[in-house]
Amino acid sequence: MSKLILSLDGGGIRGAATTQFLTHVEKSLQQKHKKSLRDCVDFYAGTSTGSLIALALATTDMDIQDINKLYSVTNAKKIFAENRGFLELDGVNAPKYKADGKTEILKKSLGQAKIKDVPEGKHILAVTYGVEKHRPYVIKSTRSEFQNLLSYQVADASSAAPTYFPTRDMALPPDNEQAWLIDGGVVANNPAMCAIAEACRLWPDAVRRVLSIGTGTQTRKINGPDSRHWGALQWMLKGCIIDVLSDEKVVGYQAITITPPGHYIRVNAEMREQPGFEKAPDDAMDDISQTNIKRLKGMGDFWFSQYGEAVVELLNNSYEGPSLDRIDPTSGKPIVYKPD
């Protein structure tokens, strides 16, 4: 028996690359194997923007083309609506963006879908973090108390990135106490290990296959010598502290190491010019310009050109190649994982 995990990273508008890539994967699966993405996935996992995509796939009947269309300039302008309160310095002494637009888009897209709406035999998890109790919340279909949570509210909490969006409140079981939640990226921007742990518990005898999709690796330089003198404000303004906290490389190393050889593919690339990819997008999670969204989707096209055939076969459980890691920017090709 073999089980497929689909793990989707956070990254704000950079999720456009993820949905563009998956749109190509779905089309190829249908053409080659007469299957859909949903036919192949046993466990969905997502953080932040990845939780939106995972919850849409797992708990609604939205097709991947429609999920991809969510990452449009029109929707992005509603989601990233600037917070223009009196005497507020956006992102410094107030969230940079209002929450209303994000909540509206999520509710309209996911509707009244609940965690329990995942198909029988399949599962979903999304990661968020409770600020009052200083603890992560892994909201998952494997726990009966989470079954009736609305998918859009879970995605809203999982994507409430500090400094960008306000903290979200949610009544969480078992006692329905109010919890104040922020973006799960502060603890698990790459939720692959959360999903692997759940899969080991659910299907201890199954062979795990893991498809882990990032949202691009940031490349902007942080000034090391200057950082010695930074306080909280400078780390936020100059050090991109939220991005530092949500770095996914350690989880990627753990996941590829414990997954059987040839059963893991990590789709990701540095967001800079490289062979086969000349127009790199901005690595900010909130650059919603038409040009940048187009370039993000171009990154998804680039990923499919490099990973597409292998990913389709991994999903179909017919892949015979090695485990693949992120793209090497010097060659423009995925790194072949070679266990020590």
- Which H helix or E strand runs over 183? strand 177-183
Closest CA to 96 of 105, 88, 106: 88
210 CB contacts (<8 Å, ≥6 apart)? 4, 5, 7, 192, 195, 196, 255, 259, 263, 264, 265
**DSSP 8-class letter at 71:** S
User: 7 forms bridges with which residues in the sheet?
Assistant: 45, 212
Asked if 317 and 32 count as a contact pair (C-beta separation under 8 A), the reply is no
Q: Which amino acid is at 71?
A: Y
Tell me the C-alpha to C-alpha distance, in Å, between residue 261 and each of 6, 170, 248, 315, 333.
17, 40, 20, 15, 19
What would you report as the CA-atom Rg of the chain, rounded to the nearest whole angstrom?
Answer: 19
Token pair 């409140």 is found at 169
Residues marked as catalytic? 48, 183
